[in-house]
Amino acid sequence: MLEIKKLLSSFDPATAVISGADAAWRRLSDLFGCFSDLTAYKAAMALDDALVYSVASSAPADGEGDMHYGAGLIMPGRIGREYFMTKGHLHVWREAAELYIGLSGGGVILMEDESTGESRLAPLQPNHTVYVPGHTAHRTINTGSTPLTYLGIYPAKAGLDYSAIAKKNFRCVVIERNGKPVMVERRSISK
Amino acid sequence: MLEIKKLLSSFDPATAVISGADAAWRRLSDLFGCFSDLTAYKAAMALDDALVYSVASSAPADGEGDMHYGAGLIMPGRIGREYFMTKGHLHVWREAAELYIGLSGGGVILMEDESTGESRLAPLQPNHTVYVPGHTAHRTINTGSTPLTYLGIYPAKAGLDYSAIAKKNFRCVVIERNGKPVMVERRSISK
């Protein structure tokens, strides 16, 4: 059996810090090309290359039946009408699903079926789960006014594929309209 | 993609109830043969066939890369010096691991390597995780004075094997000694 300390971890629901794991921070500059409003993006960058989100992960083992888990924090904020969000990813092993568990704050997960382009918006909040099936690009978005934190659990062999999303982006964007998040087609909004 | 309502669920950290899922309750009578002190077990049964624990689960999909999650609640209590606990199980697909996340209360997970019999005791508490590797029998135990609740996430194809444990039980027991839980070999304690 693995040594006991490899089997144990803890996380802080307020900060998404995992004990003994490094958190990687993504700044506005890391999200070049993600936001639809390039003018607003450049204006925000001119002020500050702000911290947008952090991710940390725990990877106890890497066999066929193993799982890893990650913890994420997304800062509150917007670029134009679009909320702060993660880059989003597919899994290298396309069949791999991911179970998200909300810890604090409120947001949504944008999902896009890789084959059909069909998009779904799922609410993410404390003690609620969102199940992201395989073959589904997904991006987490903070639609609230406080940090959004969450866990994501996935098969150890899932792997992260950012490149497919980086090339074509998500078909839909989530924007603030009358104080509420709405999902609209990217091509329907003016730049 | 699956319809959105199949992708969403919520759980109550106080009761381990999952929205839209039935909880199965296990009573003392269901745990016949689990506790080491048969005299104390019979005395407790004569008073009341008490509720010991409940389990509920969410199973959105069943493919190769899918995961299910369960929520459990164990009542506080003891039979003799042994704490209230689950029956314990192995996974039918032995490689399958399970990630436990503590929600409320305090307890431990007893793990036993199926091949070597090596035993480990891991603390389970809110915002802490315990990783149960494949090929490892595991039993959750409430060592506190309030209900213990937790989530367990596992590969969809893990499956539950109770029979191996029912036949030989765990090699170790967790008993109260000077107000604290300790793990001792079953054969070392008098009945």
Describe the strand order of the beta sheet including A180-185 as a list of residue ranges.
A78-79, A82-83, A172-177, A180-185
* Token pair in block for residue A89: 């990813």
d(CA B16, CA B51): 14
Nearest residue in B to A150, CA atom = B127
pLDDT tens digits, one per residue of A5-48 = 899 999 999 999 999 999 999 999 999 999 999 999 999 999 99
Q: Of A13, A65, A134, which is closest to B95 when you measure between CB atoms? A: A65
> What is the pLDDT, as a whole number, of residue A190?
60
pLDDT tens digits, one per residue of B62-112 = 999 999 999 999 999 999 999 999 999 999 999 999 999 999 999 999 999
User: In A45-70, which positions are buried (b, 16+ CB within 10 angstroms) versus exposed (e)?
Assistant: beeeeebbbbbbbbebbeeebbbbbb
DSSP-based helix, strand, coil % in chain A, nearest 5: 15, 45, 40
Measured between alpha carbons, how far is residue B66 from residues A96, B59, B87, B158 in Å? Answer: 6, 9, 25, 10
> What is the pLDDT, as a whole number, of residue B189?
84
> What is the pLDDT, as a whole number, of residue B3?
84
> What is the pLDDT, as a whole number, of residue A189?
84
Measured between alpha carbons, how far is residue B12 from residues A102, A158, B67, B152 in Å? Answer: 12, 29, 20, 14
Q: What percent of chain B has pLDDT over 70?
A: 98
Asked if residue A119 belongs to a domain, the reply is: yes
> What is the pLDDT, as a whole number, of residue A177?
96
pLDDT tens digits, one per residue of A34-85 = 999 999 999 999 999 999 999 999 999 999 999 999 999 999 999 999 999 9
What number is the average pLDDT over the span B115-141?
97
User: Do B122 and A8 lie within an 8 Å CB cutoff?
Assistant: yes
Contact between B174 and B182 under an 8 Å Cβ cutoff? The reply is: yes
Q: Calculate how close chain A gets to B35, using CA atoms only, in Å.
A: 25
What number is the average pLDDT over the span B28-41?
97
Q: Which of A12, A19, A66, A125 is the best mutation test for B, with the most CBs of B within 10 A?
A: A66
Q: Which of B104, B115, B131 is the best mutation test for A, with the most CBs of A within 10 A?
A: B131
User: Do A61 and B97 lie within an 8 Å CB cutoff?
Assistant: yes
> What is the pLDDT, as a whole number, of residue A19?
96
pLDDT at B151 over 80: yes
pLDDT tens digits, one per residue of A141-179 = 999 999 999 999 999 999 999 999 988 899 999 999 999
Q: Which of A153, A157, A171 is the best mutation test for B, with the most CBs of B within 10 A?
A: A153
0.90 surpassed by pTM: yes
Q: Of B7, B93, B133, which is closest to A61 when you measure between CB atoms? A: B133
> What is the pLDDT, as a whole number, of residue A90?
97
> What mean pLDDT value characterizes chain B?
96
ipTM of the complex: 0.96
Supply the range of the domain harboring residue A162. Answer: 15-188
> What is the pLDDT, as a whole number, of residue A191?
53
Measured between alpha carbons, how far is residue B75 from residues A28, A110, B40, B53, B175 in Å? Answer: 48, 38, 17, 6, 16
Chain B positions touching A1 (Cβ under 8 A) are 111, 113, 116, 118, 120, 133, 136
User: Do B131 and A60 lie within an 8 Å CB cutoff?
Assistant: yes
Three-state DSSP class for residue A130: strand
What number is the average pLDDT over the span A96-119?
97
Q: Of A66, A93, A129, which is closest to B9 when you measure between CB atoms? A: A129
Q: How confident is the model at residue A3 (pLDDT cuts 50, 70, 90)?
A: confident
User: Do A91 and B65 lie within an 8 Å CB cutoff?
Assistant: yes
For chain B, the distance separating the N- and C-terminal CA atoms, rounded to the nearest angstrom, is 56
Q: What is the CATH number of the domain that holds B53?
A: 2.60.120.10
User: Do B127 and A69 lie within an 8 Å CB cutoff?
Assistant: no
Q: How confident is the model at residue B59 (pLDDT cuts 50, 70, 90)?
A: very high
In chain B, the number of structural domains is 1
Nearest residue in A to B95, CA atom = A65
Asked if residue A19 belongs to a domain, the reply is: yes
Nearest residue in A to B130, CA atom = A8
Asked if residue A90 belongs to a domain, the reply is: yes
> What is the pLDDT, as a whole number, of residue B190?
61
